[in-house]
């Protein structure tokens, strides 16, 4: 009888431990990234001069099953709290983007921006942006390259 009672107590304690662990360990959420709908709205309403770079193979029937592609917009002019001028729109995955002259950017995943070519030098993350601009942009003076992660 005592063995059965001890086994039951151990089972209850084990289940309680798993339940507590699941509740105490929430899944991390990407901080401060821009939703695709927000990026689409900006593209539809901006007067910036846009250049598009697309790494997505849209002719492939498996494109819908591909990894979550990152979309990044990076521009050369900050005016007050706005970002614009000549902007490049990248859609793809896992790449180092040459972005000399970039002063502001926004992205649908957490990208890095670096002060040297080739994604070198000092790099910072979009999610830890020091100066937020309107529309979800981050002020990134001195950016020369952007790290797009594999997603």
Which pLDDT score is estimated for 68?
80
Which pLDDT score is estimated for 26?
39
Residue pair 78/103 in contact (Cβ under 8 Å)? The answer is yes
Taking residues 13-42, report their average pLDDT.
Answer: 61
The predicted-structure confidence for 49-94, as pLDDT tens digits, reads as follows: 999 998 765 555 555 545 688 999 999 999 999 999 999 999 999 9
If one counts every other C-beta atom within 10 angstroms of the C-beta of residue 117, the result is 13
Residue 143 and residue 128: Cα distance in Å, rounded? 15
DSSP 1: -
Q: How is the chain split into domains, by residue range? A: 30-148
The predicted-structure confidence for 34-56, as pLDDT tens digits, reads as follows: 999 999 999 999 999 999 998 76
Taking residues 103-124, report their average pLDDT.
Answer: 97
Q: What is the DSSP string of 2-62?
A: HHHHHHHHHHHHHHHHHHHHHHHSPPP---SPPPHHHHHHHHHH--SEEEEEE---TT-TT
Taking residues 119-136, report their average pLDDT.
Answer: 96
Contacting residues for 88 by C-beta, under 8 A, at least 6 apart: 50, 51, 52, 53, 73, 74, 75, 97, 99
Which pLDDT score is estimated for 18?
45
User: What's CA 129's distance to the chain center, in Å?
Assistant: 12
Helix (H, G, I), strand (E, B) or coil at 113: strand
Distances (CA, A) of 7 to 4, 13, 15: 5, 10, 12
């Amino acid at each position: 009888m005592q063995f059965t009672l001890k086994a039951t107590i151990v089972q209850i304690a084990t289940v309680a431990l798993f339940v507590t662990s699941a509740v105490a360990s929430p899944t991390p959420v990407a901080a401060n990234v821009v939703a695709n709908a927000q990026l689409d709205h900006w593209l539809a309403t901006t007067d910036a001069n846009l250049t598009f770079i697309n790494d997505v193979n849209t002719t492939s029937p498996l494109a819908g099953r591909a990894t979550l592609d990152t979309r990044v917009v990076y521009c050369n002019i900050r005016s007050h709290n706005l970002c614009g001028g000549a902007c490049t729109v990248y859609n793809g995955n896992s790449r180092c983007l040459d972005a000399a002259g970039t002063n502001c950017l926004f992205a649908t995943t957490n990208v890095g921006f670096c002060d040297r070519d080739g994604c070198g030098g000092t790099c910072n993350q979009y999610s830890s942006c020091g100066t937020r601009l309107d529309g979800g942009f981050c002020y990134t003076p001195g950016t020369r390259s952007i790290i797009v992660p594999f997603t």
